[in-house]
Amino acid sequence: MNLLGGEPNIEGSDNTVAGRHGGVLLQVVALSAFLLLASQVAFAWHSLRGFEQVLKPQVALKAEAVARSAGNLVGFAINGLGIEPERLVGVDTYFREVMAANEEVEFLALVDEVDGILFASGISAAGIEGLGIAGGVSEPASRARSEAITAFFPIALNGAATAKVVAGVSADYVGSRLSNIYFDVITVIVVSWFVTIEFIVFFMNTQITTPLKSISMALVFGRNGVFSNRLAVRTRDEVGRVISALNSLLRSLQHRYEDFSFEVREIRNAQLDVKVADRVQSVRQNVDDRFRFTGGDDIRPVSSIQIRIPLFLMMFSEELSRSFLPLFVNRLVPADSNFTNEFLVGFPITLFMLAAATFTPIGGAIVDYVGSRRVFLVGALTAGAGYAGTFLTAGYYDFIFWRLLSGIGYGLIFIAAQAWVMKNTQIRRRAKEMSVFVGAVFVGMICGPPIGGIIADRLGYEATFLLSAGLSLISGFIVNSTLDESHVRRKSTRVWFDFRSWRILIIDPRFTAVTFFAAVPGKFVATGFFFFLVPLRLAELGNSQSVIGWIMMLYGVTTIACLPLASWFADRTGKYSTIVALGVALTGLGCLACIPAIGFLDGTWAIAIAILSLGVGHALSLTSQLAIVQNVADSHRGLLGQASAVSAYRLVERLGLMLGPIVAAPLAFSFGYEMAIVGVGVITLAFVPLYLVTMHFAGGVSPVAQGGE
């Protein structure tokens, strides 16, 4: 008999202890976020001042070097060859060539003390006068004014300095370099902010939310007359003292009941009169009918958050090498191979993805049988071994083997973490709980590459892999010590993912719709537009690498920022499939911002809008897609495990990953990057009606009704 009528809704009810103080978690996270952001902004401001102080003199020195070089050449022509300054030929061309080779030099001029400007490039006579550089100079020098940094190199004629070469660097150049640094600083702040918040949420969950949740569970059990449990959470603080008091109360009731039971047994055993024995038994039965004092388990609250830090660490460790992996492989490529260099560089990366894709469904089947914790542990150890091996790798073929191991580990971890979230999810909060999983993946994606790039710069590529190996082990250790699956009933029979499972899923129109018409276009637009076309188009528009990186970061940040709201909305309305359609449509529509006819948008802004739209669209659709897949799995309970269904979904969606660049590349070749983006958007939008029609024929827009609810 389930006296509780379901698991207590700890955070959702204002009547529970945790519910009453549920805002505490939010308040602490908000306090931490504010403190971190404020201190980081102060820190960054201080840091940028340091940049400005050091960079300006360096720019002036470069301008001096340019002026000196040009001055030496002109001086040689005047003094060495005896050419009159005003009769020099090709000075303008020379100045232009120097300026073309040195982007920071805005102008070069040869100025005669008597006749004024003789030759100039990049500046007019009025401009030169505006700089106020009249007068003779005897030594090379530079001067910084608000509008320009100007360097002079005197040219002596007959022993007296009568002319000078003037090289100018616009103040805008320093400003533009600093603005690139601002973008880098913002990236740095965002990255460290995300990492910190991840750890604070984990800390708050283990120190406050979980103990409060266990108290709430004990109170809910007690309210229903169940006093047979014991709280297994241990903390040495005020919460711990309440837990201890509750355990004392439960023990006291259990002892009283044991005493009572002992007396009942004694009386019944000593009693010859059956009627009296029956009366005694009847008293006991009355007690047993109202309360339960024995046979309970330890109360160990589980939460999907518990998997977040280990998963984040694993994703982070894989993403650390993202920015330099092709460069690292390039160093290992054998010189005597029959294959092209591009193929050899790409092959280990493809193999990694293939291993991950293959072991996702295999891991899914194993998770249904042995549980998430073990599969995650095996995955973390396998991936860790792969990273450690890569650290020690001596050649290309070793490297392939170690990457293969890492890919297998990655696939296992991915599905194990997802299965853990699914198993510890209430049906009405599926999208919200899934945002835990999706969020960890995205935070890892955002934070890994920039930090990995810097570590590789400083310590070398190999050391970064060693760090990844260490993080994998830490992740495995956390999983081993925090994830408790003792309450999980594992399958008594194996439900392997086989042809029959595939058939069940493929003929279910909800699964077909959500994977082929929503997940596939979602991944298609991610790789085709975001990973392939965006960097190329932004570079074509003349953006620096910093700006490109920053704009691309918008995707992850937008997705993470919108995930909680999107998943809350999805759970609240239950209209998962409508929200998925909305998300896919938004990702496609965003790309249309790049239509050249939309003239009021600058090219870079159009891309930024498309990326924001992609982020919001993915935030809307990703968690709801997973909720639908879980509902589909629920409706085939006994025939199909949830992990298996999700791993099938993951496998199919990779089609989209592959299709993205395959379709985008010829589009870009034929119509240019801009129209290729529009083309990708149009193709994505074409999937929306297919999805809606299939869902409609599946028996309703909301699959929740057909799911497990």
Q: Can you tell me the distance from the alpha carbon of 263 to that of 284, in angstroms, rounded to the nearest whole number?
A: 10
Does 177 bind other proteins (CB under 8 A)? Our answer is yes
Nearer to other proteins, 202 or 524 (CB): 202
- Rounded distance between C-alpha atoms, residue 513 and residue 652, angstroms: 12
User: Shortest approach of other proteins to residue 505 CB, angstroms?
Assistant: 42
CA 617 to each of CA 546, 556, 589: distance values in angstroms, whole numbers, following the listed order:
25, 12, 10
x/- letters, 265..284, toward other proteins (CB under 8 A): --x---x-x--x--xx--xx
Pick one of 16, 210, 512, 577: the residue that binds other proteins (CB under 8 A): 16
Note whether 101 binds other proteins by CB under 8 A.
yes
The pattern of x and - marking residues 211 through 230 that bind other proteins according to CB under 8 A reads ----xx--xx-xxxx-x---
Q: Is 340 exposed, middle or buried (0-12, 13-18, 19+ CB in 10 A)?
A: exposed
* Among 20, 96, 490, 637, interactor with other proteins by CB under 8 A: 20
x/- string (CB under 8 A) for other proteins, residues 287-326?
x--xx-x---------------------------------
Of the candidate spans 286-294, 403-411, 413-421, 435-443, the one that interacts with other proteins by CB under 8 A turns out to be: 286-294
Q: Binding segment for other proteins among 24-32, 383-391, 520-528, 529-537 (CB under 8 A)?
A: 24-32
DSSP per residue, 194-263:
HHHHHHHHHHHIIIIIHHHHHHHHHHHHHHTTB---EE----SSHHHHHHHHHHHHHHHHHHHHHHHHHH
Kindly tell me which of 83 and 362 has the beta carbon lying closer to other proteins: 83
Among 454, 466, 536, 701, binds other proteins (CB under 8 A): 454
Residues 36-95 within binding reach of other proteins (CB under 8 A): 36, 39-40, 42-44, 46-47, 50-51, 54-55, 58-59, 61-62, 65-66, 68-69, 72
Query: What's the rounded Cα separation, in Å, for the pair 87 and 611?
Result: 57
| Residues ≥6 apart with Cβ < 8 Å to 223 | none
**Restricting to residues 518-577, which ones interact with other proteins according to CB under 8 A?**
none
Q: Select the span of 415-423, 447-455, 550-558, 636-644 touching other proteins (CB under 8 A).
A: 447-455
The residue (of 104 and 674) whose beta carbon lies closer to other proteins is: 104
Binding other proteins by CB under 8 A: which of 9, 79, 170, 207?
207
Cβ closer to other proteins: 121 or 382?
Answer: 121
Alpha-carbon span 169 to 669, nearest angstrom: 38
Residue 156 or 276 having the CB closest to other proteins: 276
245-264 positions binding other proteins, by CB under 8 A: 245-246, 248-249, 252-253, 256-257, 259-260, 263-264
Q: What is the x/- site pattern for other proteins, positions 131-170, by CB under 8 A?
A: ---------x------------------------------
What is the size of the binding site for other proteins (CB under 8 A)?
97
CB of 560 to other proteins, least distance (A): 16
Which residues in 184-203 contact other proteins (CB under 8 A)? 184-185, 188-189, 191-193, 195-196, 199-200, 203
- Which CB, 15 or 337, lies closer to other proteins? 15
Nearer to other proteins, 319 or 368 (CB): 319
Contacts of 295 (CB under 8 A, 6+ apart): 228
Distance CA 572, CA 330 (A): 50
CA angle 519, 522, 526 (to 5 degrees): 140
Which amino acid is it at 369?
Y
Q: Which is nearer to other proteins, 106 or 368 (CB)?
A: 106
Given candidates 237, 297, 298, 342, which one binds other proteins under the rule CB under 8 A? 237
Nearer to other proteins, 328 or 402 (CB): 328
Residues paired with 143 in a beta bridge: 150
Considering only residues 680 to 699 of the shown chain, the ones binding other proteins according to CB under 8 A are none
Q: What's the rounded Cα separation, in Å, for the pair 571 and 563?
A: 12
Residue type, 587: T
- To the nearest 10 degrees (0 to 180), the angle between helices 545-573 and 171-204 is 30
| Contact mark string toward other proteins, 354..393, x via CB under 8 A | ----------------------------------------
Describe the chain by its helix, strand, coil percentages, rounded to 5: 75, 5, 20
Measured CA to CA, the distance from residue 360 to residue 10 in angstroms comes to 32
Range 674-680 contact pairs with CB under 8 angstroms and sequence separation of 24 or more: 674/537, 674/594, 674/596, 674/603, 675/596, 676/533, 677/529, 677/533, 677/534, 677/537, 677/591, 677/594, 677/607, 677/610, 678/591, 678/592, 678/594, 678/595, 680/524, 680/525, 680/528, 680/529, 680/533, 680/591
Q: Which helix (H) or strand (E) holds 31?
A: helix 22-75
Supply the minimum distance, in Å, between the C-beta of residue 264 and other proteins: 6
Distances (CA, A) of 528 to 169, 398, 653: 40, 31, 14
